[in-house]
Every structure is written in structure tokens, then in C-alpha cells.
A and B are shown apart, each in its own frame.
Chain A
Amino acid sequence: MFEFFKLNRQILGMNCRNLEYIRPFNRSRAKKLADNKLLSKKILKKNNISVPKLLAKISNLQELESFDWQSLPESFALKPNRGFGGEGILVVYGKKKPARNPAERDSVAGGDKNDAWIKADRTLISIEDLKTHIRNILDGSFSLSGTPDTAFFEERLQLLKLFKPYSYKGIPDIRVIVFNKVPLMAMLRLPTKSSSGKANLQQGAIGVGIDIATGTTTTAVLGKNKMIDYIPGTRLLLSGIKIPYWNDILKLSVRAQEISNLGFLGADIAIDKINGPTIIELNARPGLSIQIANLSGLKRRLEKVKDLKIKTIEKGVRVGKDLFGGEIEEELEEISGRRVIGTVEKVKLISKDGQETEVEAKIDTGAYSTSIDIELAKQLGFEKLLENFSKISLANYNLKPENESFIKKDFLEKYKISLPELEDISIIFSSNGASIRPVVKLNLIIDSIEITSLINIADRKYLNYSMIIGKRNLGKFLIDVNK
């Protein structure tokens, strides 16, 4: 019996959510914004927040009849403007080429399948099917109050490679509950076959709890109530996934709350391959299953945050992390005395005049030293050095591995005075010949640790990352390939 009371104190139930949080904190104006997807998209966009691109909208039957179906891309999402709980959303993943044999085509039930798109379950959907679906949307079959609605097409986001093995067809998204500018709880929602590619728990998606402090997944629930460890049918562990851009996601969710004025907000954020964290939807009545996914209650968290006065987004995020984050990573970091970083990290480089430049760097344990791109080096104030360096003729040197130490010594003796910023040179021998790279001293901040290091400057124009960090600078870190 005592345990029941405990549950009652910690878990947020439907009654409490409606009466104590939605009613007083989500005013009807703000709710209207959240319930109107097109409007919230517009307003978020105006505030420079990344949202999925609107392709077209259809608000009445005339527009439906005159709609140019050829204007649609191969993949898109069709949504009701005022839909609720993921109902009425139709996602297609590709276009089927028209059948060659017209007789065969006519024999297919459902009329003209000339133009057809492919749904998550591999079934085809024809223009006629789309039209019926849109008519139902216009009729208000999926809208909250059953009133006539608008249908719209939006671009389908590009799936991040990291999530590919975990999600069936659709794009996973991250639900963050924000209250009083503090992110309280988060969950990664993975579409499954039974949710037909939609990231909605009610329809059978997987919800994975996330540690607010680190963005690492913890426990997972399938559908409404089944706790799972692995993706069904696979050996893919659901815990320990590092959500990329975690800080940005939390900041984005708090920012969305500021803009929308929803005191108690469920922000749905997906990570687009190109645009990064993108807000897909704002939710004025966020569901309660997030508590099961995290095996933790929201009520206590809400009460803790209620009386705080938080001015900035950064502060809100920090409070959320400190109050509600677990200590998984901290524990590891404490034991080893090292920070855990991923294979790609944001690194701050400090230029000579003290300015910070942030770049994404590849953590390369196969390289010994750290190197940055010429262009980047120029930005950091080494323009002059590079200019003078390129003037030096290297023809006098016989670039062979056995001459390396001699060349270095000779080179530095000759040019050290004219090139004061040059700390060293490094000679790189590779299959397409040898080259000499200038080495400079630079301060960099990796995961809040500042390091002063010698860094060589190379032409990385055609490489993915303008910076790689080699073994020499990684002594203070542990690398988590999942991060």
C-alpha cells in the first residue's frame, strides 16, 4: 500500500497533467500554435529554427483536384495540419517507376497505378489512394476536434547513419519534456515495423529513455508497456546509444518553449543528416509513456523546477542536466580520470588574437599528430606564415625518409628567424610523394579540456573534416565509438 502512495507522489498521471500543468501553463493561444503544425512551422522558421521544409499544402477540394502530383519528390511525409498522436500521417520512401505493360496495369485493383509511391511496409500507394487520404484529412477525420483540416506535404528528413540500424524505415525522433525552461526528461523514439515507420509509441514504436546529462540512452519500452533490452529480432542493444548534438537538442527544446510560450511542452526533435537537430512538432499535451521509457516519474521533477527563476536557455539546460541527469559517464570519467569523447568531436581552436573557432574534428587514433586544413589555419591567423612558407623552395631537399632528421634541422636553422611562428616542420611520406608541412603551436579545447599542442597544417580541402586529432593529443581521453 505504501508503495502505491509513493507511485502517486512521483508519477504524473493523466488527471494531474491536465489539471495542474496543461490547464494553467499551456494557455489556449499557445495550444493553438502547437496544434497547428503549419503555423508552428512558420513561427519556428521565423526564429531561425530548423524545421522540415514544407513542400505543398492542400486546404480544400479544388486545390486537391488541381494539384500537380509530379511536383512531389520521391519521398515525403503527408500530414494533417491538426492531427494528434501521429494519426493520419503517411510517409512514402520512394517512387515506383510506371509499369511497362498497360494491360497488366489496368488489371490491378485500385485503378491507375501509373504513379505510385512506396510506403514503409513496401506496399504501393497510388495517386488515388493519396487523394482519398487527403479527402479524409480535409474532412477532419484526424483532427483533434473533427473539424475540417488542411493537408500538407513536407520533406522527409535524412536519416543519420548512427540511427540506421535501430530504426525501421522512418526517422527516429527525440521527445524532450520542457517545463519552466528546464528540460526534464527525454526519450528517443524509434519507429518499428508495427508502427509502420512512425515514431509514435501508441502505434508500437520503441521509446528509449535518455540520461539528460549525457544524452546516453538507458532503458527502453516497446509500445505501451513492454520493457526491452534489444531491438526485437536483433542483438542491437538499446542502452548506451550516444545521441549526437545532445547539448544542441536540449537548447533547441528550451528555445522552442520560449518561442511557443507553452509552459509545459513536449518538443519532438529529429536529427537531419544535413541540417542537424530539427524540430518536427511541438506538443501541448505530451504523453506520459516517457516515464515508462525512463523508468522514472515526471511529477517530482516538475515540482522541483516549478519555483525556479531561470533567465537563459543555457542556465535551464544546465539545471536540467544537474538535477535530472544520471551519473553514468561521470562515474566512468571519475574512475579513469579521463574524459569520454566520440569519433567526431566539436573542438574549439583559439586563434592568436584569442578568438575561438569551433570545428568538427575527426578523432583519428591512426594518426600520431594533429593536423588542420590550410584554410582553417589562415582563419586562425597563420596567413602570413603560410604565405612565406609556400615561397620557400623545397627543391634543394631530397625528401627521403633517411634524410628526415637532417632536413628538419637544416630547414629550421635556415628559416626559424624569418618565420617566428613556425615551431617545427613535419615531413610526410605517402604513396603520392613526400611533402613538408609547417607545424605551429595552438591552443585547443576538446570537451572542455584545454590543450596546447603542436599542430601541422595540411591541405585537407578534399577531406571530410578540416581537422583530425591524432594520438599525441588524446592522452586525456577515452574514445567511445558509439558517441
Chain B
Amino acid sequence: MNTSPIIDFFLHQGVPFETVILILMLPIIATFIAFLRQVVGIKAFGIYAPLIVTFAFLATNGLKYGIAIFVTVIFTGMLMRFVLKPFRLLYLPRVALMLTAVAILILGVLVIGGEFRRTGLAAVSIFPILIMITIVEKFVAVQIEKGDKVAIVLAIETLFISIIGFYIASSENLRSFLALYPWIIFFTIPINILLGKWTGLRISEYFRFHKIMKNL
């Protein structure tokens, strides 16, 4: 594969190629998420959650296992809210209990995966799993503040962004392009400045306000 001299330098210093590419991917995915928020109007759980879930997906062996784990996490989060409601617990202990429940359930999912000879699932390294488990805190926070419905919508949006992010980051073309021209990540700077100054309606707002259109 052709690589730019700077990449060659990194490799020579002993930084793995995969790591370099993933780090270079980060500003691109982040910009993409910012674009989805400001121009399209997809909110998700902020910028950090979809970003980290995207990278968790990249680190799991195949998207489907990543999605399975994500859905398990969110599902447990929902379930535990109902279970824990009558106990009236304070926020942090409640989240800790949720994390416990999610951890146990994930373990269960991995075991079941092994039973069905889905060895890919069990072979998923621990860090992406841990990353996704921590999403439950975001989920619980939104659940308390904005209710179940909003929390689920935002979870779905997060999943959606992460899946697209996954495809972008695993696109062979983009990867080899980045390896060849790593400097293009600086293009994200003017793009983000433009996004930061963008005052037009978001695409979602065209739908939200379409009823006014007939009246103008």
C-alpha cells in the first residue's frame, strides 16, 4: 500500500498502522457527527457517545456483534428502570446497579453466543464491550430528564450514526486515501468552522415546521 512519508515515519517509530488510521479517522467521524447534528438535525447522545460506539463497532469482529451488544445494553437499561423504580434510589447507586445488570446480561449473551457456536461474539475483546456498557449512563440520564421515549429515540439515533460511522471508517477507499494524504484531516477545521456558523434550518426542522409552510 502506498503511504505518505509522515505515515512511514510513524510506522518506523513503531506505531501500528491500524492505530494511526483509527486516530486519523477520529476527526473525520467527529466532523460527520457534527454535520448530522447541525445540518440534518440528528441529536443522538451528544458527540462522544456515537463517536466511541463507532470505534467500539470497529473493534468488535463485525458489525452485527457490536449491534447485538449495543441493543442488549439499551434493552437492559430500559428494563432496569422499571425494576429499580419502586426502590427509589439515588442516581449513582442506581447507575451502578444498572451497570451490574448490564454486565451480567452481556456475559449471558456471550455465553449464549458460545453455545450457538457464534465464537465471533465471545472473541470480541473486552474494551469495546466495556465502552458500550458505559453508554447506559447516558441512557439513564436522558431517561430521568426527558423520559423513556426520548431516551429510546436518542439511543436509536446514536446507533444509526455509529453504524454509518462504522461504514465510513471501515471503507477501504477512505483508509488508503488517508494513508496517502493524512493531511486532509485538517480540512475538518474549516468544515467545522462553517458548521459552527451555519444558521440555516436543519433538515429535521423542515419536517417539524412543514405545517407553517402552507401558511406563509
Contact = CB atoms under 8 A, between A and B. Distances in A.
Interface of A: 3-4, 6-8, 10-11, 13-16, 19-20, 87-88, 109-110, 128-129, 132, 135-136, 139, 141-142, 146, 202, 224-225, 227, 288, 291-292, 295-297
A310 B1 CA distance: 67
Interface of B: 38, 41, 86, 88, 90-91, 141, 144-146, 197-202, 205-206, 208-213, 215-216
Contacts of A15: 38, 198-202
A6 B38 CA distance: 19
Nearest to B146: A87
A132 B94 CA distance: 13
A175 to B, nearest CB: 17
B216 A8 contact: no
B211 A295 contact: yes
A141 B89 CA distance: 12
Q: Which 6 A-B pairs have the closest CB atoms?
A: A13-B201, A16-B199, A132-B88, A295-B215, A13-B205, A139-B91
Contacts of A139: 90-91
Nearest to A83: B145
Contacts of A129: 88
A295 B212 contact: yes
Given A8-B200, A14-B202, 7 more contacts: A8-B201, A15-B199, A19-B197, A19-B199, A135-B90, A136-B144, A141-B145
Nearest to A135: B90
Contact of B91 (A14, A141, A202): A141
A7 B216 CA distance: 8
Contacts of B41: 14
Contacts of B211: 225, 227, 292, 295
A206 to B, nearest CB: 15
30 contacts: A3-B213, A4-B206, A7-B201, A7-B206, A7-B210, A8-B200, A10-B216, A11-B201, A11-B205, A13-B199, A13-B200, A13-B202, A15-B38, A15-B199, A16-B201, A87-B145, A88-B145, A109-B86, A110-B86, A132-B88, A136-B144, A141-B91, A224-B208, A288-B205, A291-B212, A292-B209, A292-B212, A295-B215, A296-B216, A297-B209
Do most interface residues of chain A lie in helix, strand or loop, or is the interface mixed? Answer: helix
Nearest to A289: B208
A129 B215 CA distance: 47
Contacts of B202: 13-15
A87 B86 CA distance: 20
B6 to A, nearest CB: 36
A146 B145 CA distance: 10
Contacts of A136: 90-91, 144
Contacts of A202: 146
Nearest to A6: B216
Contacts of B205: 11, 13-14, 288
Contacts of A142: 144-145
Contacts of B212: 7, 10-11, 291-292, 295-297
A19 B202 CA distance: 14
